[in-house]
Amino acid sequence: MVHPLPLMRNLFPAILLMLSATFAAAQSPPSIRVVPMPASVELGSGRLPIDRSFSVSVTGYHDVSLDRGIQRFLSQLSRQTAIPFWTKTGSAKATLVIHTARGRERVQKLGEDESYTLLITSARAELDAPTPLGTLHGLETFLQLVEPSADGFTVPVVTIHDQPRFPWRGLLIDVSRHFMPLDALRRNLDAMAAVKMNVLHWHLSDDQGFRVESRRFPRLHGMGSEGQFYTQAEIREFIAYARDRGIRVVPEFDVPGHSRSWFLGYPELASGPGPYALDGNASPAMDPTRESTYRFLDKFVGEMSGLFPDAYFHIGGDEVDGKQWDANPKIQKFMRAHRMERNQDLQAGFNRRLQKILSKHHKQMIGWDEILHPDLLKTIVVQSWRGQQSLASAAKQGYPGLLSHGYYLDLMWPAARHYAVDPMSDAAADLTPEQKSHILGGESCMWVEWVSPENIDNRIWPRNAAVAERLWSPQSVTDPDSLYARLDALTLRLEFSGLTLRSSRTLMLRRMAGAEDVAALAALADVLEPVKGYARSKGLAQWDFHAPLNRMVDAVYPESDAARRFTAIVQAWLAGGHTDSAAEAQIRAQLTAWRDLDAKLHPLLADRALLQELAPISSNLSALSAAGLQALDHLDHAQPSPDDWRAQQLALATQAQQPSANLLLMVAAPIQQLLDATAH
Amino acid sequence: MVHPLPLMRNLFPAILLMLSATFAAAQSPPSIRVVPMPASVELGSGRLPIDRSFSVSVTGYHDVSLDRGIQRFLSQLSRQTAIPFWTKTGSAKATLVIHTARGRERVQKLGEDESYTLLITSARAELDAPTPLGTLHGLETFLQLVEPSADGFTVPVVTIHDQPRFPWRGLLIDVSRHFMPLDALRRNLDAMAAVKMNVLHWHLSDDQGFRVESRRFPRLHGMGSEGQFYTQAEIREFIAYARDRGIRVVPEFDVPGHSRSWFLGYPELASGPGPYALDGNASPAMDPTRESTYRFLDKFVGEMSGLFPDAYFHIGGDEVDGKQWDANPKIQKFMRAHRMERNQDLQAGFNRRLQKILSKHHKQMIGWDEILHPDLLKTIVVQSWRGQQSLASAAKQGYPGLLSHGYYLDLMWPAARHYAVDPMSDAAADLTPEQKSHILGGESCMWVEWVSPENIDNRIWPRNAAVAERLWSPQSVTDPDSLYARLDALTLRLEFSGLTLRSSRTLMLRRMAGAEDVAALAALADVLEPVKGYARSKGLAQWDFHAPLNRMVDAVYPESDAARRFTAIVQAWLAGGHTDSAAEAQIRAQLTAWRDLDAKLHPLLADRALLQELAPISSNLSALSAAGLQALDHLDHAQPSPDDWRAQQLALATQAQQPSANLLLMVAAPIQQLLDATAH
């Protein structure tokens, strides 16, 4: 599930293809700027003003949790408009009347009714939902509808009937490789609620850190976390915070591999002699042949089952490195005695024992693809990270499944690429309806090898909203242009809810520059993206999770909006036979600005250790932009460019598309297209 | 203390004068970029690197509070560099060795030793201080010394001996007119600690809100706060937070005037019949003739004395509106019976009674100028808001005093203007050394009639640092150019400590525009300032503290750096006989950008209710900039401009300097100077 280096080798050309395909055709703007797009939207005419007279009344069922949700709604509406609403609840003739039919399950359950209906006229609004989950979703939709206009803040007249396509819409956050403080997680829960995601998959332990206080086994967090863990009180409060937002928290404790951090305090669990450290590349595994291992896990699962109320318990189970098993004579003897030929059989045996332990503690097992084995009960949920094929194959065998392959946010793909991955497409397209019913949804994954609390927000958002929409909206909602237009609005909205998905880059640029005015540096950052897939890890001799994440690659957004827009304009202009002079003027102005940027940046880049690696990129951008401007001149005069000049510039364009400082210059490709066009 | 409308009528010309004087002469850059400038700085050569090997050791005295301070130092150093330092304390051969001689007073006392010595060589650093207060200050100095360079993060080789000039260096924050949540106050405490301020004067009650939970008199907060108050538990935690940062918390409960919020729950305290509401302009006052008033205050002060440990208790005492007293026959009869001729005598009697109550509860009284009366004991502290004259006069009579006149941050003065106000200058300059010794220091004041939690940070910072330096650094430190250069560095540093003094404007612009890219709008905001003094309140028929603070006047910074810099360049260029061609190119580029801004902004301004009022300002900026460019042409050719053209442009410049939408276009004046220069 992490760093399968070969997998993504050919990612880069794929992205370019994707961008080209996506932006070839301009499409009509979306009817409403809401993510995920509701199941049914009927747009009327007119708008309902959101001004100081706005008020809310609550009818039908309510409880303290829902009351808090409505209070949050008002606070958020205040943040978006700066109109103070705190005294405005409870009025009889309210602008927004909320009606909830009944309460929720004590512990949020997979498949609880999340539907709602939102009716907005030019005079008032009504939100109806069977349960508070639907009410919360409807309020989020309402907030996204609020926009400033010439007449002040308004929402459109609209009728929305909405419910999710899949019941399991999750986000995995790894907190082992880099610890994420609770405030970072809480603001991401807020953002998940904004896009109606309902599961936080909390990857709490891995080789590099064990992040939960265990009172039964205090050396787990005591020796396995460098002091960076969550107390049980914090976890209880955090789960309550998530529940208030309609989000289940599913804990993952990855076993029997990915478990080095356990062994610092409890080396007797391991299959090899140790000693163990949090640093390093070794991938030891638990010893599945000793009864003491299961006694430990029984007590451990018992303690954690009391802490995490969700019905599901994720046991990881991925990427078990067999080296320790192969090297341990006792384990080899055990395997021979039990006629186990492969390590997979040993792991299956381990999982069977673990499943019994989970059942005893009233938990349903969930794990990664590798746990799939005919011996396991059909109630286990298989989370597919290796491909859509394994999800389909699990469904065929009757196992409930979740798709994560295609939803790895750490691979730095563009939103449109995640958006194009559907749990029911590809191998799953051929399943029978009964088999399809086993597919519960999916989860995006935020692995944090290269992520800090400072940049996690922009690593997850807004791209994660593409996955959220894929899992909520009807399968037919697929237009990436519409998605991107709505992501722009969402980004704005999320920053108001406290996410730092835009502001943190500014701060990081200021740190590198040591100056407040970073406009020029930001202009460079705007056209850069981090390298894709696992390219950044590829050259590493050894992981170092204490290394500062303070370089440009850590600051730039995973997807460059500026490059996406520039590419679209260039391609449309070329496709139109270079006749659109307004578009050409735009291209020319942009290329001029990029050409002149290096002169502004050069002294700064030379004078800052953290920026020196950007000098060649900035210089490439300048040279390529100059070439692009010359290409425009050739195209204007309908004269082919000289072959040797073109060859030289194309060589530069090719070179500029190579990763440098773990960065990609995303406008090199569209400039290359301009150069190509001057050939005849 | 609030809205003396006539006082500031002539502020605007004064600012221009100040700017001219300040930037006429270019001065050498400061030796180190620290605010406040330490008492003694010896800069060496070389730098100490701050890299992953950096560590801290703690010797001598320490306690949990100091340990937390050192942990905060490491966290902040991590935020500034993104290098993780959390595991690095306690090493034997540390980079920074901290030695503290002894502990602090249980309750922080006025005049405790705050000195420290910081020695930095190219190999290591030592911080020595008699008490943890000095240690904390030294750590803040260290953090401000960290800067990025071509060799990574470093601090300069330097020897610093430092101690404060005044023992009372405060910031008043009003939380009555607009409630300020604790997180906003906490981040401001962090910022105060960064500039070594040591008193938060917490203005907790006023006509518009009573913000403290009272268990004795629960209708005070229950009916006087609209639910926006601090619980006693929150206050205790907040005071501990301040103490950890070397900051005393002095509460103010303003009596007998400014007390309308008390009367909603306890109308029997008032001098008139009521009824009372939080809204409105009425200024009722407590009835000083009834014994029940003093019984109430005795119990109230008793309760609050248990909550606020500081030795001082601020009773306000300013601006008592005599109308209710004049209109109440019983009060008039009382005055006649006691041979009181003026309302001031009545208030003095009230204050004598109050002083006895405070003494009973072991508190020293502090109040505004108006409490000064020969009958009061010489231990009361007089805080001067009306002028330096009243501070000097108090000192002459032997009263300890604090200066706040000249330090009102809500007047939107430039930092240099606050900086030029010295507690020992003006009327105080002629005092004897003994009389001078009564002047304890001063306090800047953040009255929040027009301030929200969203913009409070940029209303206070960085300008408040000018006052902090005035009160800490030697009287001889007065160079505003050096101040501004160091404020730039401080602004950057404060944003890393969690203050939103820059990021909140971006968010506010995005709200108004409904778009993420607000570069053009920010370029306009950059040259605007809010109107000065009390101009914004002047036209109001009635206060409305529920009005949204979401307009451009709420978003722009109190002081425009762009205008200050442009003014300085223009003046230097004109003074140099227009010979500096690089400067002229800069002026030309800037004017061109401003001229072209309106075309970019116009469609947006027309389409947003909150922005429409900016259209004339944007159009003035464009027209004036065009005129400025023409003026440059005339100057280039050494030809006077045509008189009628110049008259027309100067009329425009004059008009553009008038407030519009409560905003001032700060570059109109320097452009006018360019136009003026074309006369001959």
How confident is the model over B112-162, as pLDDT tens digits? 999 999 999 999 999 999 999 999 999 999 999 999 999 999 999 999 999
Residue pair A153/B610 in contact by the 8 Å Cβ criterion: no
Judge whether A603 is closer than 8 Å to chain B, CB to CB.
no
Nearest to B516 among A226, A488, A554 (CB): A488
Q: Tokens standing for B575?
A: 């003074």
What pLDDT does B198 receive? 98
Strand partners for A56? A89, A96
Percentage above 70 pLDDT, chain A: 95
User: B95: which DSSP letter?
Assistant: S
Residue whose C-alpha is closest to residue B549's, from B521, B564, B530: B530
Judge whether B268 is closer than 8 Å to chain A, CB to CB.
no
Q: Per the CB < 8 Å rule, is A148 touching B491?
A: no
The pLDDT of B72-101, averaged and rounded, is: 86
What pLDDT does A344 receive? 93
Side chain identity at residue A276, one-letter code: Y
Judge whether B454 is closer than 8 Å to chain A, CB to CB.
yes
The answer, yes or no, to whether residue B25 has pLDDT greater than 50, is no
Residue B665: CB atoms within 10 A of its CB come to 26
Percentage above 90 pLDDT, chain B: 90
Q: Per the CB < 8 Å rule, is A82 touching B511?
A: yes
Residue pair A436/A535 in contact by the 8 Å Cβ criterion: no
Q: How far apart are CA A12 and CA A666, in angstroms?
A: 11
How confident is the model over B513-539, as pLDDT tens digits? 999 999 999 999 999 999 999 999 998
Q: Report the range of poorest mean pLDDT among A1-15, A487-501, A610-624, B33-47.
A: A1-15
The answer, yes or no, to whether residue B451 has pLDDT greater than 70, is yes
Query: Looking at chain A, which residue has its C-alpha nearest residue B518?
Result: A492
Nearest to A149 among B87, B506, B609 (CB): B609
What pLDDT does B373 receive? 87
Contacts with A148 from chain B: Cβ below 8 Å: 511-514, 608-610
Q: Per the CB < 8 Å rule, is A87 touching B606?
A: no
Is residue B400 classed exposed, middle or buried when 0-12, 13-18 and 19+ CB atoms within 10 A define those classes?
buried
Q: Per the CB < 8 Å rule, is A516 touching B496?
A: no
The distance of A503 to chain B (nearest Cα, Å) reads: 7
Identify the band that residue B499 occupies on the pLDDT scale cut at 50, 70 and 90.
Answer: very high
Is pTM, for the whole model, over 0.90? yes
Stretch 393-452 of chain A: residues touching chain B, C-beta under 8 Å? 452
Stretch 85-114 of chain A: residues touching chain B, C-beta under 8 Å? 86-87
Nearest to A512 among B148, B502, B606 (CB): B148
Q: Pick from A226, A510, A559, A614 the residue to mutate for testing the B interface (most B CBs within 10 Å).
A: A510
Query: Looking at chain A, which residue has its C-alpha nearest residue B178?
Result: A84
Q: Tokens standing for A454?
A: 């400072």
Q: Could you give the ipTM of this predicted complex?
A: 0.92
Q: Looking at per-residue confidence, does B274 or A196 come out higher?
A: A196
The answer, yes or no, to whether residue B575 has pLDDT greater than 90, is yes
Asked if residue A256 has a cis previous peptide bond (ω within 30° of 0), the answer is yes
Helix residue ranges per DSSP H, A539-580 = 552-555, 561-575
Side chain identity at residue B512, one-letter code: M
The answer, yes or no, to whether residue A9 has pLDDT greater than 90, is no
The pLDDT of B360-381, averaged and rounded, is: 92
How confident is the model over A466-495, as pLDDT tens digits? 999 999 999 999 999 999 999 999 999 999
Only one residue has tokens 């003027």, namely A585
Q: Per the CB < 8 Å rule, is B511 touching A152?
A: no
The region, left, alpha or beta by phi > 0 then psi within -120 to 50, assigned to residue B270 is beta
Contacts with A82 from chain B: Cβ below 8 Å: 452, 454, 508, 511, 548-550, 554
Judge whether A225 is closer than 8 Å to chain B, CB to CB.
no
What pLDDT does A274 receive? 87
Q: Per the CB < 8 Å rule, is A548 touching B84?
A: yes
Asked if residue A36 has a cis previous peptide bond (ω within 30° of 0), the answer is yes
Q: Pick from B503, B521, B604, B613 the residue to mutate for testing the A interface (most A CBs within 10 Å).
A: B503
The distance of B66 to chain A (nearest Cα, Å) reads: 20
Contacts with A492 from chain B: Cβ below 8 Å: 510, 514-516
Nearest to B512 among A148, A514, A607 (CB): A148
Q: How far apart are CA B100 and CA B83, in angstroms?
A: 26
The answer, yes or no, to whether residue B24 has pLDDT greater than 80, is no
Mean pLDDT of chain B: 93
A480-505 b/e (C-beta count within 10 Å ≥ 16 → b): bbbbbbbbbbbbbbbbbbebbbbbbb
Contacts with B546 from chain A: Cβ below 8 Å: 52, 84, 87
Judge whether B612 is closer than 8 Å to chain A, CB to CB.
yes
The pLDDT of B395-411, averaged and rounded, is: 97
Judge whether B588 is closer than 8 Å to chain A, CB to CB.
no
Q: How far apart are CA A575 and CA A667, in angstroms?
A: 18
Q: Tokens standing for B174?
A: 């009003």
Query: Looking at chain A, which residue has its C-alpha nearest residue B612?
Result: A150
Query: Looking at chain A, which residue has its C-alpha nearest residue B504?
Result: A503
Stretch 25-54 of chain A: residues touching chain B, C-beta under 8 Å? 52
Side chain identity at residue B410, one-letter code: D
Stretch 281-340 of chain A: residues touching chain B, C-beta under 8 Å? none
| Close Cβ partners of A436 (under 8 Å, ≥ 6 residues apart) | A395, A424, A428
What pLDDT does A431 receive? 96
Residue A150: CB atoms within 10 A of its CB come to 12
Q: Report the range of poorest mean pLDDT among A186-195, A339-348, B7-16, B45-54.
A: B7-16
Residue whose C-alpha is closest to residue A8's, from A385, A478, A433: A385
Stretch 474-493 of chain A: residues touching chain B, C-beta under 8 Å? 488, 491-492
How confident is the model over A371-421, as pLDDT tens digits? 998 888 888 999 999 989 999 999 999 999 999 999 999 999 999 999 999
Identify the band that residue B108 occupies on the pLDDT scale cut at 50, 70 and 90.
Answer: very high
Catalytic residue among B319, B495, B584, B613: B319
Strand partners for A151? none
Residue pair B195/B465 in contact by the 8 Å Cβ criterion: yes
Q: Tokens standing for A130?
A: 């069977």
Q: Report the range of poorest mean pLDDT among A104-118, A368-382, A434-448, A565-579.
A: A368-382
The distance of B289 to chain A (nearest Cα, Å) reads: 36
Q: How far apart are CA B541 and CA B207, in angstroms?
A: 17
The pLDDT of B415-441, averaged and rounded, is: 96
Residue pair A571/A23 in contact by the 8 Å Cβ criterion: yes
Judge whether A503 is closer than 8 Å to chain B, CB to CB.
yes
Residue pair A67/A90 in contact by the 8 Å Cβ criterion: no
Q: Looking at per-residue confidence, does A89 or B598 come out higher?
A: B598
The answer, yes or no, to whether residue A34 has pLDDT greater than 90, is yes
Residue pair B383/B399 in contact by the 8 Å Cβ criterion: no
Chain length of chain A: 680
What pLDDT does B12 receive? 38
Stretch 505-544 of chain B: residues touching chain A, C-beta under 8 Å? 506-508, 510-516
The residues of A assigned a catalytic role are 319
| Close Cβ partners of A488 (under 8 Å, ≥ 6 residues apart) | A561, B515, B516
The answer, yes or no, to whether residue A16 has pLDDT greater than 50, is no
Residue whose C-alpha is closest to residue A563's, from A14, A20, A1: A20
Nearest to A82 among B150, B548, B609 (CB): B548
What pLDDT does A7 receive? 35
